[in-house]
Amino acid sequence: MSDHNTSAYRLVELRELADDAVAGGFSDTLEARFARDALGGEGIGVSLQRVKPGARAPFAHRHSTDEEVYVVVAGSGRAVVEGELVELRPWSALRVPAGSARSFEADREGLEFLAFGTHTEGDRGEFVDAGWPS
């Protein structure tokens, strides 16, 4: 991993971070590279995530206190936020408030996005049913 640290900033290469989806047993549908610890973030987190082509994340998640913003950098697909479908395409930015469940699915080319969020100690998020409409 390329890592440059000074007292003023820290730089990491997101694609070189470990894929936590592998450790979580979700590598058949997802990639997830979390950078908060590598960057030394105290009140904010960022991750690079990818839903593989034609796949749907196997869960939704929500945070009790933290909000998140998702910025699509490649591909397209949908998010479901509290049961409501949201179409996503490159450079869409979706803000999800604390307490709202969200999940993602990719179209045939996959869905790649950056996730930015506040970080509150102890709010690791919880996995919940996605509530995809029928």
- Burial, 32: exposed, middle or buried (Cβ in 10 Å; 0-12, 13-18, 19+)? buried
Handedness of CA 18, 20, 25, 28 (dihedral sign): negative
pLDDT of residue 64: 86
Domain ranges of the chain: 3-128
Does this model's pTM top 0.75? yes
pLDDT of residue 71: 98
pLDDT of residue 2: 52
pLDDT of residue 12: 96
CATH of domain 3-128: 2.60.120.10
pLDDT along the chain (134 residues), means of 10: 66 97 95 96 95 96 93 98 97 97 97 94 82 86
pLDDT of residue 85: 97
Alpha helices, H only, the chain: 20-24, 36-39
pLDDT of residue 130: 87
